[in-house]
Structure 1
Amino acid sequence: MSEQQTIPEVVPEAVPEAVTETVTEAVPEVGPESVTEAVPEAVPESVPETVPEADQESGAVPAKRPRRVLAAVARWTAAVLVFGGVGAGTAAGITSMERGDVPGLATESDGRWEYPRLSLPALPEGSPRPFTYGNEAEIHHADLRRLLLPAPAGATVDPKADGGWVTTDAFLSPYGKDDRAALAQTLADSTLRHITARSWTMPDGTRSSVHLLRFSSVAYAEQFKDALVASDDGDVVPEVLPTGVEGAKLEGYGDDIEVEGTRPYIYQEPKPYGPEQTRWAYIQAGDTVAVVLQSRKGEAAAVPFQQTVTLQNQLLG
């Protein structure tokens, strides 16, 4: 039996400084004993094909760490850093996104239209808002066209009613012939100053129109509002109906809108109705009366109608 060859203990001082640093980073708190135990396991893979004669005689394992081991450690370290960076970047990206932008977390639309950001127009110098101190007559001193609600995104605007002045006949066109004659006489007896309007159609077929009528005083505006609606046994019913509408159901007075000084009267065409449904509202705001109409084949959606009335009301308040 041949004499068994023993591997002497590796002296810690013989390990190069670079290897010591690498092992320290990869395995925390590794002492000389751990290095001695780890070296024999690495011998089969790391011993060079040609072993120096001094090593063959003594049987000592070279202390220099093979390049393949160092390259493998470097590759794994880089991979960990890359995946860690990607994960952190993804987490930061998601936390900075709005809920509706994250796939799977989008908030379903409730039917509201996308209107432009609204703002009140500038007033002539020294002129107060209609419902503020010093304006007991509740007059709108701003250009009435600037108080008209703009069309929402995606709308096709009628070029004949795109925020400019319109005639009395254009305003009365949604009403029946007999009603148009009575309303025209009421307007002729008043001191109507001007009318502005905007009409548009949405991709789902909803047709909308908003008219603003400004009078020389609150009294004349009130008189015209009374020609549109009237009290009947404590309830307020419309005196005139849009063309094709045979009945009206009072939705309310816009109490949830809470715009001081304004008074909306909101109606809808009740069932059974024809091939389309109509919703409309009259708003008196000081010296101005607004008329909002929406019609759609089948059923006219309540949400965009209420949104349109609310926004127009706020512009007049």
Structure 2
Amino acid sequence: MSSETESRTEDGADRSDGAAGAAVLPSGSGERRERRVWRAVLRWTAAVTVFAAAGTATAYQITGMTRTDVPGLATASDGRWAYPELTRPPLPSGSPGPFAEDNPAGAQHADLRALVLPAPAGAVEDKALRGDDGWLPTEDYLAVYAGEADREALGQTLTDTGLRHIAARGWTTPDGTRTRIYLLRFGTAEVVDVEIATDAVAFVTPAYQPVGAHESEYDESFPERARVPDIERVAYAEPAPYGAEQVRQAYLAAGNVYAVIVQSRAGGVADVPFHQTVVLQSQLLG
């Protein structure tokens, strides 16, 4: 993935000075990877094309970046949270990036725990999600979802597909919005694309509903221009009338890592911080 320089305006907004280039796949393993990518694109975009996203809300200009250049989005009058400046963790010596031509498995070699988005300023962290060593037990992740049958089915899927680790972080901001982010690492990107994403993402609603979400539908408010190169994304929102709170959720496929982002808030989850959180987590995984 080609890199480019981003400049920042005085009000804190990002402005892109270039465009990301498309990688040229070599023959052999590259052709196999290309077929896998197209299969994933067809499955993930099926959910997107069911509804045409209007994309008239605040859009972020997302562009290709180097491994160490991921700017946090500044606090602005549109409701963005004040995230710290973000830097992707270093790769082990000699290890390729997840979307490099010489990485057909799409492996994220960086420490998964360091790839989880940090909490914004003023938020109170949920330390239980971090654990003593930064790894979340599978049963704690399954507790996100309502319904014993769903939890059993999803747990069996994670076992069958060789789940390796789960890293997580959560926090609550002063406005009462609760955020939870889960990164699940598998053996290859193909496992994520073929087994995990296909199992979890349906055409109109997610296969497994988080606790508190009575219903979910495709999130038409998410700006299409906010897509991050190489990251497949599907987002859902609980339509009104809500129960005690609204639940919004996003699912990302990033190489051999599958990310789940859940936000909830009494009275409704605001568009801007939800979009911002999903975009920044996507950038860290890109």
TM-score using structure 2 length: 0.69
Matches within 5 A, 1:59-208: 109-162=77-130, 164-176=134-146, 177-208=148-179
CA shift for structure 1 position 133: 2.2
Structure-1 residue corresponding to 2:192: 221
Gaps of 5+ in 2: 1-9, 13-74
Contact 1:254 1:265 in 2 (8 A): no
The Cα offsets for residues 250-306 of structure 1, whole Å up to 9 and x where unpaired, read as: 125863233222101011001121121011001011101000000001111111010
Structure-2 residue corresponding to 1:309: 278
Structure-2 residue corresponding to 1:297: 266
SS in 1 for 2:81: coil
Query: Which of 213, 219, 222 is 1:245 aligned to?
Result: 213
Q: Structure 2: which amino acid aligns with 1:283?
A: L
CA shift for structure 1 position 198: 0.2
CA shift for structure 1 position 119: 0.8
Change (3 A) 1:166 1:108: closer
For the aligned residues, what is the CA RMSD?
2.0
CA shift for structure 1 position 122: 0.8
The Cα offsets for residues 71-121 of structure 1, whole Å up to 9 and x where unpaired, read as: xxxxxxxxxxxxxxxxxxxxxxxxxxx779xxxxxx972111000100111
Q: Distance in 1 between matches of 2:223 and 2:233?
A: 6
Q: Distance in 1 between matches of 2:205 and 2:120?
A: 30
Higher relative contact order (CA 8 A, sep 6+): 2
CA shift for structure 1 position 128: 1.0
Contact 1:111 1:303 in 2 (8 A): yes
CA shift for structure 1 position 310: 0.2
Change (3 A) 1:132 1:272: same
Q: Structure 1: which amino acid aligns with 2:174?
A: P
Structure-2 residue corresponding to 1:95: none
Q: Distance in 1 between matches of 2:204 and 2:285?
A: 22
TM-score using structure 1 length: 0.63
The Cα offsets for residues 45-78 of structure 1, whole Å up to 9 and x where unpaired, read as: xxxxxxxxxxxxxxxxxxxxxxxxxxxxxxxxxx
Higher relative helix content: 1
User: How many percent identity over aligned positions?
Assistant: 50
Gaps of 5+ in 1: 1-97, 101-106
**Number of matched residues?**
210
SS in 2 for 1:219: helix
Contact 1:254 1:263 in 2 (8 A): no
